């Protein structure tokens, strides 16, 4: 922003709360949750959901575990009205789920709303009116505080009068001083207490006071001060559920919600992945999984977040950003070599220490939660580009393709793979990494190839074997023989016999390839050339002995 533009802006006033207590509190339990995807979220879509899509989304929300769902503004349009009627008449609403409807405090709209909820077991009727000085001046043409207070009280009276028209439905009143975030605290309190006085809630029959951060004007700590101040001064506090409804104009919706809960709120309204007007609503997924990451149960099940995201993207026609907390495609992905190495070490150590014991505290560098707990696989965590390191390549080869490379082989393979990514200027897929590994390090056949071999175990010399091998050396077919204490050693002696041994074997590893079919064994041989160079080669073959010989031949070829 140009400095000349700053003159039009003013700091947001603080709340007089010198003895605030919320900074010393810790979240230990989850709030009540209310999804507003089908109302606040739907109205923000470029192409609103159809009735059938809304029904599908409603069932998604109930499967996740939402017990309160704002289903729309039934007095605003026939589509909204008909959707709620279908939910009720076709028995889509589980017995433990309460639907919520939004309505302005006008008699004909309220009557239409009560027609819509008739037959529901329990419904929250959510009334609101804007209360801030800015709204009073601009939207309501300099309306007085008395005028705005009168609208709130009249709305509560209308709802109370209409409750007997739906005797089979338990009606809960919810009141929002809309634009609470920009309203003088004393006036917001006056409006809320006026509605409370009309409704007369009790501890057994509570009402909801929703304090919306309709537009974020300030930092989350000021929002928390406002919530704590209201909680201290609301009438009948033991009979009132304080609800939060934060938007995200400053990018702090999650922080404002978490601090608001520390400040004494009992309930949270929001949407999946933060869909909503302007910069969006609170992302309930993030807040709930933040609580889960501290061991706090939430009643919401995001263990298959990939499927939830797929339904959301199809019905809303909005993408979930790749860096969206928890749900984004790349949020558990590390490209950095140092990150990859730490993640691999952490996962390997955890596998050794826990042996599937879920009571062992989670502790893997760079991963705040176990991705498997929300339906993500470890295979997607480490991905390879030119910034990646040796450990990341080894991780992908291990987890995706079953090749457990010796640690001292990681630098040799890693450099070749991320040099390829650098040359291509893009990320490499897991299959491209495997193909490059095979092309550069596995079963190399030039200038030396081994096509067949036979092992003969000596009965006169215990532990000694003779290797007879068919090789192709620089285009010439030859048979070689050697005697040693094992297949690798015997083959080395055979190479020495034809005067092409200019190395010593310094390491050898082998294992079965996880998930392998035609190639079920992998071997790795490290050779040290007479000039001091160290290089690894890999061999893959159904026979573990032949895999070892191919690994040695590959390393010999690489030394050329």
C-beta of residue 257 within 8 angstroms of C-beta of residue 246: yes
Task: Identify the pLDDT of residue 419.
Answer: 86
Give the separation between CA 401 and CA 196, rounded to whole angstroms. Answer: 63
311 lies in a domain? Answer: yes
Note whether 262 and 404 are same-domain residues.
Answer: no
Residue 268 CA, chain-centre distance (Å), reads: 20
CA-to-CA dists, residue 4 to 7, 10, 34, 217, 228, angstroms: 6, 14, 43, 21, 37
> For residue 285, what are its two tokens?
């997924």
Q: Are residues 279 and 342 in the same domain?
A: no
In this structure, the answer to whether residues 256 and 311 fall within a common structural domain is yes
Cα of 135 vs its chain's centroid, Å: 37
- pLDDT value at residue 379: 56
Domain presence at residue 98: yes
The last residue of a domain, from among 282, 316, 350:
316
Is residue 266 located within the same domain as residue 392?
Answer: no
End-to-end CA distance of the chain: 61
Cβ-proximal residues to 3 (8 Å cutoff; 6+ apart), any chain: none
Residue 321 domain flag: no
Indicate whether 279 and 363 sit together in one domain.
no
Residue in the structure block whose two tokens are 């605290």: 185
Could you tell me if 432 and 505 lie in one domain?
no
What's the pLDDT at 352?
Answer: 86
Strands in 32-183 per DSSP E? 32-35, 68-72, 98-104, 122-130, 170-178
Looking at residue 343, its pLDDT comes to 85
Pick the last residue of a domain from 379, 405, 437.
437
Q: Which residues contact 356 (CB under 8 A, 6 or more apart)?
A: none
- What's the pLDDT score for residue 518? 57
Give the mean pLDDT per block of 10 residues along the chain (560 residues). 91 93 97 97 94 96 98 93 97 98 92 97 96 93 95 95 97 97 96 98 98 96 98 98 97 98 98 96 98 97 96 96 93 79 86 82 93 80 63 83 92 88 84 94 96 78 84 94 91 95 95 73 95 95 93 96
**In terms of domains, do 31 and 107 share one?**
yes
Distance CA(389)–CA(335), nearest Å, equals 8
- Residues 406 and 301 grouped into a single domain: no
Tokens 């709303």, residue?
113
Are 510 and 538 in contact, with CB atoms under 8 Å apart?
Answer: no
The CATH number linked to 521 is 3.30.160.270
Do both 220 and 171 map to the same domain?
yes
State the Cα–Cα distance between residues 402 and 23, nearest whole angstrom: 49
Could you say which of 286, 316, 346 is where a domain stops? 316
Token pair listed for 528: 């040290």
Report pLDDT for 335.
74
Radius of gyration of the chain, Cα coordinates, nearest whole angstrom: 34
Provide φ and ψ at 220, rounded to 5°: -60, -30
Q: Which two tokens stand for residue 508?
A: 């050898």
Domain tally for the chain?
Answer: 3
CATH number for position 396: 1.10.287.1400
List phi, psi (to 5°) of 269.
-105, 140
What letter would DSSP give residue 364?
Answer: B
Query: Does 377 lie in the same domain as 277?
Result: no
User: Number of H helices and number of E strands within the chain?
Assistant: 17, 14
Residues 348, 207 share a domain: no
List, in sequence order, every residue forming a beta bridge with 171; answer none if it has no partner: 123
Domain around 239 = 20-316
Q: Are strands 476-484 and 240-246 parallel, antiparallel or unpaired?
A: unpaired
* Cβ–Cβ < 8 Å for 6, 241: no
Residue 456 shares a structural domain with residue 478: yes
Beta strands across the sheet bearing 521-529: 503-512, 521-529, 534-541
Nearest to 490 by CA among 525, 456, 461, 529: 456
Report if residue 5 sits inside a domain. no
426-436: string of b/e by CB count within 10 Å (b at 16+)? Answer: eebebebbbeb
Q: CATH number, domain at 301?
A: 3.20.20.70
CB atoms within 10 A of CB 306: 12
Alpha-carbon distance 437 to 397, whole Å? 9
527: β partners:
505, 535
């Amino acid at each position: 922003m140009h400095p000349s533009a700053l003159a039009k802006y003013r700091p947001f006033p603080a709340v007089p709360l010198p003895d605030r207590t919320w900074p010393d509190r810790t979240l230990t339990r989850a709030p009540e949750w209310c999804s507003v995807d089908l109302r606040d979220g739907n109205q923000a879509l470029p192409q609103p959901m159809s009735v059938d899509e809304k029904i599908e989304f409603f069932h998604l929300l109930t499967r996740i575990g939402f017990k309160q769902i704002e289903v729309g503004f039934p007095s605003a349009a026939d589509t909204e009205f008909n959707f709620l009627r279908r939910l009720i008449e076709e028995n889509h609403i589980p017995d433990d789920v309460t639907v919520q409807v939004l309505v302005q405090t006008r008699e004909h709209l309220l009557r239409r709303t009560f027609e819509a909820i008739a037959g529901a077991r329990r419904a929250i009727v959510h009334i609101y009116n804007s209360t801030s000085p800015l709204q009073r001046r601009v939207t309501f043409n300099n309306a007085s505080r008395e005028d705005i207070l009168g609208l709130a009280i009249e709305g509560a009276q209308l709802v109370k009068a209409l409750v007997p028209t739906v005797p089979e439905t338990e009606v809960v009143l919810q009141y929002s001083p809309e634009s609470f975030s920009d309203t003088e605290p004393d006036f917001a309190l006056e409006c809320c207490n006026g509605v409370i006085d009309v409704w007369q809630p009790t501890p057994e029959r509570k009402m909801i006071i929703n304090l919306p951060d309709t537009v974020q004007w300030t930092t989350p700590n000021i929002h928390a001060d406002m919530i704590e101040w209201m909680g201290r001064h609301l009438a009948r506090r033991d009979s009132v559920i304080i609800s939060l409804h934060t938007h995200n104009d400053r990018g702090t919706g999650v922080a404002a919600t978490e601090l608001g809960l520390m400040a004494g709120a009992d309930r949270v309204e929001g949407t999946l992945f933060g869909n909503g007007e302007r910069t969006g609503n609170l992302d309930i997924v993030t807040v709930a999984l933040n609580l889960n990451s501290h061991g706090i149960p939430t009643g919401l099940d995001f263990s298959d977040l990939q499927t939830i995201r797929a339904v959301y993207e199809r019905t809303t026609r909005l993408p979930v950003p790749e860096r969206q907390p928890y749900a984004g495609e790349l949020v558990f992905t590390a490209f950095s070599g140092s990150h990859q190495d730490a993640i691999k070490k952490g996962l390997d150590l955890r596998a050794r220490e826990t042996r599937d014991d879920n009571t062992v505290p989670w502790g893997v560098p760079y991963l705040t939660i176990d991705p498997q707990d929300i339906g993500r696989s470890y295979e997607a965590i480490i991905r390879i580009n030119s910034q990646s390191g040796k450990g990341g390549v080894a991780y992908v080869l291990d987890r995706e393709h079953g090749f457990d490379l010796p640690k001292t082989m990681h630098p040799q393979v890693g450099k070749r793979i991320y040099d390829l990514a650098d040359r291509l200027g893009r990320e490499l897929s897991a299959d491209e990494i495997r193909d490059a590994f095979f092309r550069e390090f596995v079963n190399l056949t030039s200038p030396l190839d081994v096509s067949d071999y036979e092992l003969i175990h000596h009965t006169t010399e215990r532990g000694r074997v003779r290797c007879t091998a068919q090789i192709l050396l620089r285009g010439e077919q030859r048979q070689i023989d050697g005697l040693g204490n094992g297949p690798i050693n015997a083959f080395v002696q055979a190479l020495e016999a034809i005067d092409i041994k200019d190395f010593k074997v310094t390491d050898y590893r082998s294992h079965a390839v996880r998930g392998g079919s035609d190639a079920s064994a992998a071997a790795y041989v490290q050779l040290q050339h007479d000039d001091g160079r160290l290089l690894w080669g890999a061999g893959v073959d159904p026979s573990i002995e032949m895999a070892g010989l191919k690994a040695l031949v590959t390393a010999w070829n690489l030394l050329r």
